Amino acid sequence: MRQILLSFCSLVVLCGIPLSLGAEGFGPFPVRNFQALDQLVLGMPGDRATVLRQGDFDLRLEAANTASIARNSEAQAEVTMKFETVRVGLFLRYGLTDRLEIGMEIPALHRYGGFMEGPIKGVENATTGLSPPRKALGNTSYAFNISNGERTLFKGSEGATGLGDLSFFGKYQLLKETSVLPAMSLRVAVKAPTGDTAEVFGSGHPDAGVGLALEKTLTDHWIVYVNVNGVFPTGRIAGLGLQPVVSGLAAIEYLWTENFSITAQFDYYSPPFHGTGTRVLDKGVTESVLGVSYRILPGLLWQLYGVENLDFITGSAADFTISTLLTYRFRS
């Protein structure tokens, strides 16, 4: 899928869009850990350091489709996963002051057999070869079962639809960007246990998170973004103990015009689970992200990005995610 995204971005660039200087960036993509089980804890999606102006209001709608596949038979756990998940998130943000903004996200999820099997197989066959889990589950259209001995830890039904866990966010800008210093903001987040635990759409417990967001304009065309977060889950999930999660991203955005940009991004997430005996739960996630941002109207932004598992840590990440989102800003 990486090659598909590169070809897409190259095609857009070659369309002859004129160059323009001095444009403002759109920020990193609001990527989170789309791995179906890690997603049960609070996610702090990618964000820029700057905040909304006082009285401004953002309404963002995102639809992401994630392909998940894993087939592990280990001493402590048996894992069979092959499905896709549509995650639709409604994100609301409001500028309380010129340095402080608040927000909330309402997610809904749908799990099904999916449509990306063919394209993924085509890319794998043309590059690295068909992955072992995809070979093992070649004749399986849908599977979601993780067990430990005779005990089922996670089992999700095909066609399940439900509300996920609501999240509430706050961001305070500590530093404005100067010619030397980057802009820097403090982020906080809290998750409410509103998701359906029976269908693996929620953890059943609240979580809290804190983080820093930085951004620095290097030239008129290049902007760099960095996020570092710590998330503190509470309770247990399927009887499994949880540990604090560290996540971070580094992104670079190229401003082709004041209305169009290309962004490449690297994300890392440590696992919330430990000692389960399977890589799907015990290992962290490393992923690359590539996508475009286009301002359709002065207040309307459209973005498209793809998330590819890098396999630096084998067997833990979702296979591939494609996401599109629209953001409309109401000016005060």
- CA 23 to chain centroid, in Å, comes to 26
Please name the helix (run of DSSP H) or strand (run of DSSP E) that holds residue 135, with its range, or none.
helix 132-136
Q: How many residues does the chain have?
A: 332
Residue type, 56: D
**Residue 198 φ/ψ region, left for φ over 0, alpha for ψ in the -120 to 50 degree band, beta for the rest:** alpha
User: What pLDDT shows up at residue 22?
Assistant: 41
Which burial class, exposed, middle or buried, applies to 29 when counting CB atoms under 10 A from its CB (0-12, 13-18, 19+)? buried
Question: Residue with structure tokens 């004749």?
Answer: 139
Tens of each residue's pLDDT in the chain, 332 residues: 444 444 444 434 433 344 333 457 999 999 999 999 999 999 999 999 999 999 999 999 999 999 999 988 876 788 999 999 999 999 999 999 999 999 999 999 999 999 999 998 888 888 878 888 888 898 899 999 999 877 899 999 999 999 999 999 999 999 999 999 999 999 999 999 999 999 999 999 999 999 999 999 999 899 999 999 999 999 999 999 999 999 999 999 999 999 999 999 999 999 999 988 888 899 999 999 999 999 999 999 999 999 999 876 667 889 999 999 999 999 98
Q: What angle do CA 214, 261, 257 make, to 5 degrees?
A: 115
The neighbour count for residue 47, using CB atoms within 10 Å, is 25
**Domains, in order of start, for the chain:** 2-321 (2.40.160.40)
Question: Residue with structure tokens 């979601």?
Answer: 144
117, 142 in Cβ contact below 8 A?
Answer: no
User: What pLDDT shows up at residue 313?
Assistant: 62
327, 89 in Cβ contact below 8 A?
Answer: no
Structure token pair of residue 260: 């169009």
